[in-house]
Structure 1
Amino acid sequence: MNTKNRNWASILSLLLWAIISTITAIGSVPTALALEYNKEILVQADFSGRDLTDSSFTKANLRYSNFSNANVSGVSFFAANLESANLRGANLTNATLDAARLIKTDLTNAILEGAFAANAKFDGAIVEGTDFTDVLLRTDEQKKLCKLAKGTNPVTGRDTRETLDCP
């Protein structure tokens, strides 16, 4: 093969590789991009129904915000203010809620499986049908939640009191 033909073969190989790489990359685009809302003031923000997987709301002010039916799995709400927020039906699987304020937060039918909630405050939270399977909680918060807990999560089929290991 002469030099001219080798050059064309190299160019065509490179072009073919670029086309295949592009097609492969398009097929593997994630459904959601992780977003950062750290230290943001997002009072009354509407995130309902959104896919926010692996996003970060560290130290954000989210009072009265709406996360109903949102996918917030793996999200960091570390030290976030979620007072009076709507998390009805939200997927909080493996979320970080450490030091978060969930005071008067509506967690009806939410899934918190595997969430880290040490030092989180749940005073007055609504926990009907909430799934707390394998959630790390302080003992005093767990006892408070047991006084409020009732119902069964419609997605996981788990009883809220059982997921909290209530007596």
Structure 2
Amino acid sequence: MSRIFTGLLSAVLALLLLLPSPAFAASSAATRANDDLKVSGNDFSGRNLQEAEFAEARLSGANFSKTKLEGVVFNASNLSKANFEEANLSYGFAYLTSFIEADFRNAILLESTFLQCSLRDADITGADFSGSIIDKEQVIALCEVADGVNPVTGVSTRESLECR
């Protein structure tokens, strides 16, 4: 019985050794985001940070105005009081991130995802959230203050949030 078990165990180990091992490398987006964080200050305005990844970033009060942030990832980050005015965050993903008192005036956030994020007291005047996924309680709070029309897409903030 032990010979069968030993043989079976040897066969499984041999098979595991033949399987390709996973590659462990940072993506170019993660590398670019880390390099960008090393610049002095928190002024990212007007830059192209498409597909950048920010994990546990402390960027309270950072300036992302007029920045290209399509496909950006914010994971467990602090972006309270950050300025995203006229930025494009379409197709982005944010998880466990604070956007408390952030400025999203006239921002474009098409098909973005905000899960377990706080958008409390954010200025969303003229922001377009069309197709975005946002926690229900956040949508309810945002609908209470939603106003304006995005100057680029022509969509009202209330319409983009599907406010009732």
TM-score (norm 2): 0.77
Instruction: Give the aligned partner of residue 80 of structure 1.
Output: 77
Instruction: Give the aligned partner of residue 130 of structure 1.
Output: 127
- State how 1:19-58 maps to structure 2 within 5 Å: 34=29, 35-37=32-34, 45-58=42-55
Task: Kindly tell me the number of residue pairs found equivalent between the two proteins.
Answer: 134
Cα distance in 2, alignment partners of residues 103 and 44 from structure 1: 20
User: Which of 154, 157, 161 lines up with 1:157 in the alignment?
Assistant: 154
Letter in 1 for 2:100: I
- Normalized per residue, which structure has more strand? 2
Instruction: Give the aligned partner of residue 101 of structure 1.
Output: 98
Letter in 1 for 2:120: D
Instruction: Give the aligned partner of residue 145 of structure 1.
Output: 142
**1:67 to 2:64 alignment:** yes
Cα distance in 1, alignment partners of residues 43 and 162 from structure 2: 33
1:6-64 CA distance string (max 9 Å, x none)? xxxxxxxxxxxxxxxxxxxxxxxxxxx731339x6989500000000111112101100
Question: Runs of 5+ in structure 2 lacking a partner?
Answer: 1-27
Percentage of matched positions with identical amino acids:
36
Moved over 4 A (4+): 40-44
Cα distance in 1, alignment partners of residues 41 and 138 from structure 2: 26
TM-score (norm 1): 0.75
Contact 2:33 2:49 in 1 (8 A): no
Alpha-carbon RMSD:
1.9
Cα distance in 2, alignment partners of residues 43 and 162 from structure 1: 39
1:95-147 CA distance string (max 9 Å, x none)? 11121100000000001111110111101000000001111111100000001
SS of residue paired to 1:117:
strand
1:64–1:52 CA distance, 2 compared to 1 (3 A):
same
SS of residue paired to 1:67:
coil
Deviation at 1:80, TM superposition (A): 1.3
Cα distance in 2, alignment partners of residues 77 and 164 from structure 1: 21
1:112–1:43 CA distance, 2 compared to 1 (3 A):
farther
1:123–1:42 CA distance, 2 compared to 1 (3 A):
farther
